[in-house]
Amino acid sequence: MTAVAAGRPLPRQDVLAAVEEALWRYQPVRSRELGLDWALDAAGTLTLDGFAPSRTIKETLLEIAASVRGVQRVEDRIVADPDLEIAVARALADDPKTAGVPAGSVQVFAQLGNVVLVGDLPESLLAEVLRVAGQVPGVRRVVDRLDQA
């Protein structure tokens, strides 16, 4: 498999090595366990998969990957913590079994795919809140820090 850049084909393994090197130079990649994975298809599309603690870091990762010679396009499958927090909160608000959770009674915090739920809930809603949060795409694990009201 090859990717084409500047009119010259580059071996797939060379492009992947260049991606790894470029990402490794970015300090947040070296200092955090982002769980990044990447794959390059025959057309030069690089798929980035994993987690980022912020949207800024996510966007920087995508820009770095796109700048590597031989990468024609980047497919973004990175989940940023703020987006995951919003997705979990929306899922809780939209699910018929958890839509009755009083506003502000559950706070959602995400850290690289791990979601922490904090707050006070009636015991009758606890299991459903945990179930809904765990089904949101991108959630690796749900940590229950909920108290029963």
CATH number for position 104? 3.30.1340.30
Judge if 73 and 111 occupy the same domain. no
| Residue at a domain's end among 42, 64, 79 | 79
* pLDDT exceeds 60 at position 3: no
DSSP string for the chain: -EEEETTEEEEHHHHHHHHHHHHHTSHHHHHS----EEEE-TTSEEEEEEEESSHHHHHHHHHHHHHSTT--EEEEEEEEHHHHHHHHHHHHHHSTTTTTSPTTSEEEEEETTEEEEEEEE-HHHHHHHHHHHHTSTT--EEEEEEEE-
Look up the domain containing 139 and give its range. Answer: 82-148
* pLDDT exceeds 90 at position 66: yes
Judge if 13 and 58 occupy the same domain. yes
Count of domains in the chain? 2
Q: pLDDT grade, residue 32 (50/70/90)? A: confident
Judge if 92 and 25 occupy the same domain. no
| Residue at a domain's end among 79, 106, 140 | 79
| Residue at a domain's end among 49, 79, 109 | 79
Judge if 32 and 86 occupy the same domain. no
- 72-121: per-residue pLDDT in tens? 999 999 999 999 999 999 999 999 999 988 888 999 999 999 999 999 99
Judge if 62 and 86 occupy the same domain. no
Single pTM value for the model: 0.85
Judge if 113 and 132 occupy the same domain. yes
